[in-house]
Amino acid sequence: MNEELTGIINSFDIPGEPVSFDAITDGHINRTYKVEVETENGSEFFLVQRINTFVFKNPDELMENIVNVTGFLKEKIRKNGGDENRETLTVIKTKDGRNYFKTDKNDCWRVYSFVRDTYALNSIDNPEIFYETGRAFGIFQRLLSDYPIDSLFETIPDFHNTEKRYESLEKAIKNNRANRVGEVEKEIEFIRQRKDDARLFTDLLRKKELPVRVTHNDTKLNNILFDKKTDKGICVIDLDTVMPGLSLYDFGDCIRYGASTAKEDEKDLSRVSIDLDLFEAYSKGYLEAAGQSLTEKEKSLLAVSVKIMTLELAIRFLEDYLNGDEYFNINYPDHNLARTRTQIKLVADIEKKLPQMEKIINSL
Ligand code: GN1
Ligand code: MG
């Protein structure tokens, strides 16, 4: 058992000794381990995570958000007769009552209880499970609809400001820090042709035509836990980016990742497209759970939000590639380029399918 990790776990209010740990490598940002702790009542499991402070500059604010949001959710879940220990995350405090632990090297670590008898997915094999995903994120949004939005810290300012993302890509092109611009002229050209798309949401926000809500902002498929027995999506995790945002960010981003026929970093682009059955299943689940609270304007933009969010990710991956891979975890040197190309292929496919996607939304 890793000594450093044992020391970290022992500084949390956990009644027992850590006996084993497994790295969980799904996320692109934080470092995560599942830890088994031997207690008087047998084995208990915890999730131990190093917060990426290059990405999240203010861990105090970040953790305060999470403690408050999960506290708010727990109260609602209790009132609705649910299980507050399964349907949202539980933050374990340190022995001295803090929300996270800071090592002498200034690394910041936090601990959650592990939600037993659940599983997470990195890809979808049947529409039913994606319907469940839509429902789970829809319910999440609904439960937080009366959360005091002004009390939330913005953990990453302008996180889904696609217009600013576009501008900072242009800066990265100009600076060419990793000397990679020459390799990606086609990709840059593709994105530049869609400059106006990057300001669709910011323009509407300036005109106050879209409501700002409490949103998750990172609705990747693997941020839902499914119940092993019922296969229902029961717990939304990865709450680092719960912030004021648009419902369209959450909708579009989840389809981008989950309804793609290929992985986010698939190199064989012929395999990359949007699966309309999955699109329909998710939309159905999401609209059943949250549809009533959406404005007509929001509904009318659901289909196009998939394109905008996919374009945004293409911009973000490409920017990181040009900056020398300092933001997203990578597994090989041109990983961010592979991700960029996949997103671009997906944008092109979505553009072709937009009329069909609109039709599906209208039929629901
Ligand atoms: C990151 O941490 P993870 O893997 O759930 C990123 C998301 C991206 C996603 C792309 C804080 O999410 O915005 O959509 O990678 N999270 C942050 O896979 O930047
Ligand atoms: Mg995640």
- What's at 81, amino acid-wise? G
For residue 116, what are the contacts with CB-CB under 8 A and spacing of at least 6?
45
**253 CA closest ligand 1 atom index:** 14
CB 205 within 8 A of CB 212: yes
Q: Residues with beta carbon < 5 A to ion ligand 2?
A: 27, 223, 238
Q: What is the mean pLDDT of each run of 10 residues along the chain (364 residues)?
A: 87 93 90 93 94 97 98 97 97 98 96 96 93 97 96 97 98 98 98 98 98 97 96 96 97 98 97 98 97 95 98 98 97 97 98 98 96
**Tokens at residue 142, please?**
């609904």
DSSP 260: B
For residue 189, what are the contacts with CB-CB under 8 A and spacing of at least 6?
none
**Tokens at residue 138, please?**
């829809």
Distance of CA 143 to the CA centre of its chain: 18
Model-wide pTM > 0.85: yes
Q: Which of 257, 220, 225 is nearest to 241 (CA)?
A: 220
Q: Which ligand is nearest to the CA of 245?
A: 1
Tell me the C-alpha distance between 236 and 225, whole Å.
Answer: 6
pLDDT at 125: 81
Name every protein residue with a CB atom under 6 angstroms from any ligand 1 atom.
27-29, 55, 218, 220, 223, 238, 240-241, 264, 313
Compute, in angstroms, the gap from residue 30 CA to the centroid of ligand 2.
Answer: 8
pLDDT at 201: 98
The CA-based angle 331-274-281, given to 5 degrees, is 110
pLDDT at 41: 87
- Cα-based torsion angle of the residue sequence 185, 190, 196, 202 in order, rounded to the nearest 10 degrees: -80
Residue whose Cα lies nearest atom 7 of ligand 1: it is 218
CB 39 within 8 A of CB 15: yes
pLDDT at 3: 86
**241 CA closest ligand 1 atom index:** 11
Residue whose Cα lies nearest atom 13 of ligand 1: it is 218
Q: Which ligand is nearest to the CA of 55?
A: 1
Q: Which of 227, 245, 225, 252 is nearest to 308 (CA)?
A: 252
For a pocket test of ligand 1, which of 24, 28, 47, 52 has the largest count of ligand atoms closer than 8 A to its C-beta?
A: 28
Residue whose Cα lies nearest atom 10 of ligand 1: it is 28
pLDDT at 1: 58
Residue whose Cα lies nearest atom 17 of ligand 1: it is 29
Q: Which ligand is nearest to the CA of 165?
A: 1
**156 CA closest ligand 1 atom index:** 11
Number of other residues whose CB lies within 10 A of the CB of residue 343: 28
Length of the chain: 364
Q: What is the pLDDT of residues 193-215, one digit of tens each?
A: 999 999 999 999 999 999 999 99
Q: Which ligand is nearest to the CA of 217?
A: 1
Q: What is the pLDDT of residues 36-93, one digit of tens each?
A: 999 988 999 999 999 999 999 999 999 999 999 999 999 999 999 999 999 999 999 9
Tell me the C-alpha distance between 144 and 127, whole Å.
Answer: 26
Question: How would you classify the pairing of strands 101-102 and 91-92?
Answer: unpaired
The dihedral of CA 57, 63, 68, 70: what is its sign? positive
**44 - beta bridge partners?**
37
Compute, in angstroms, the gap from residue 329 CA to the centroid of ligand 1.
Answer: 10
**257 CA closest ligand 1 atom index:** 18
Tell me the C-alpha distance between 357 and 281, whole Å.
Answer: 12
Helix (H, G, I), strand (E, B) or coil at 154: coil
